[in-house]
Amino acid sequence: MQTRCPHCQTLYEIQQQQLNAASGQARCSCCDNIFNARKHLLSPTQSTETPPPAQGDEGTNGGFSLNELFEEIASVEEEFAELNRKLDDVQAGNGTATHDPPRSDTAPSDEPSPGGQQSQHGPARDDRLAATEQAADTHPAPAAMADELPPHLQPRTVRRAGNRHPLLWSLAILAAIVLALGQLAWFSRDALLHHPQLRELLEVACAELDCTLPPWHEPQGFRISERSVSTHPANDQALQIRLTFRNDARFAQRYPQLQLSLYDLNERLSARRRFQPSEYLRTPPATPQQLMAAGASVDVEMALRDPGRQITAFIIDFL
């Protein structure tokens, strides 16, 4: 059975087992062309029509034998299987590695091949058809193949986040939370001190820590029970304001400031003044820390110059 190189028309002897071993692929030893030997087999008619090979000066014909080349097929298949296993390992870790197998040149042999035809491109010589399996060539090591990978398939070193003292990080986060809560409590201290449930907790804490909380102060807990406005008995150019207010809160608190606001016919603010406890109480408190008991009432008398008929209303607020 014969096959012909489609490039240089060199004729080769080949056997069925050689075709099966190389999957039909062959390399021409004259022009290094790789071709499918199955597709270029010569039919018996073509073989008969082919002229007999011319004898060279040395008595050798131009045919080429593949017998010696394929004697190593068994060992090549074992190497090829081993290479496949290595390639699988490389592909599993780094992606698919692709490379072009290096060429291997087959040294010419001096043995003549019976029944072959002389090459049409030079003197007769004992060149042999080279197998095209990658296993017949020198295979690079897996590390070399990894170096030949394209940039997007190169292995990347993934760094795992190390154990960077999680206890220190936890303490730092806790300290930041405590600091934020402390700032919030400081800026909202007035509202927190007047929160009933929180106030009780703070009082218990201060009893243990030997600290003092500012007294309760809830201005909206004061209510006016009686009030009157009349001309001052000692000065007809002045007004006398009398009122009675009560501490309706459930706790004792300091005496409030009284804010008097005067409005005209158009309900526009005309005048405003604040009175301290020492100004409106008949008997001022002995100390600023003196508290007004829960449910207690206080009578107030205040004198002010008569603003005239343009003032038609007044409002008293507790501060």
What's the rounded mean pLDDT across residues 52-58?
A: 41
Least confident among 68-72, 225-229, 273-277? 68-72
Residue 144 CA to residue 75 CA, distance in Å, equals 23
Going by pLDDT thresholds of 50, 70 and 90, the confidence category of residue 153 is: low
Residue-averaged pLDDT of the chain: 72
In order of their start, the domains of the chain are 2-72+97-137 (no CATH), 186-215 (no CATH), 219-318 (2.70.50.60)
Assess whether pLDDT exceeds 60 at residue 21: yes
Residue 142 CA to residue 65 CA, distance in Å, equals 34
Contact 54, 108 (CB under 8 A): no
Residues 6+ apart with CB under 8 A from 278: 284, 285
Largest CA distance in the chain: 161
Angle at CA of residue 70, ends 66 and 75, nearest 5°: 165
SS3 call for 197: helix
| Cross-strand partners of 299 | 244
- In the chain the first and final C-alpha atoms are separated, in Å, by 119
Assess whether pLDDT exceeds 90 at residue 246: yes
Least confident among 30-44, 116-130, 272-286? 116-130
HSE-CB at 6 with a 13 A cutoff on CA atoms is 10
| Cross-strand partners of 228 | 242
Q: Give the model's pLDDT for residue 154.
A: 58
Parallel, antiparallel, or unpaired for β 222-232 and 311-318?
unpaired
Residue 255 CA to residue 219 CA, distance in Å, equals 9
282 versus 247: the higher-pLDDT residue is 247
Share of the chain above pLDDT 90, in %: 5
Residue 317 CA to residue 319 CA, distance in Å, equals 6
Q: Say whether pTM exceeds 0.85.
A: no
Assess whether pLDDT exceeds 60 at residue 147: no
Each residue's pLDDT tens digit, 77-113: 777 778 888 888 877 766 544 444 444 444 444 444 4
Highest mean pLDDT among 43-52, 72-81, 108-117, 228-237: 228-237
245 versus 189: the higher-pLDDT residue is 245
Assess whether pLDDT exceeds 90 at residue 133: no
Residue whose entry in the numeric block shows the structure tokens 């070399």: 144
Least confident among 122-131, 140-149, 202-211? 122-131
Q: Which of 129, 108, 6, 126 is nearest to 56 (CA)?
A: 126
Assess whether pLDDT exceeds 60 at residue 20: yes
CA distances from residue 190 to 37, 193, 317 in whole angstroms, order as listed:
99, 5, 19
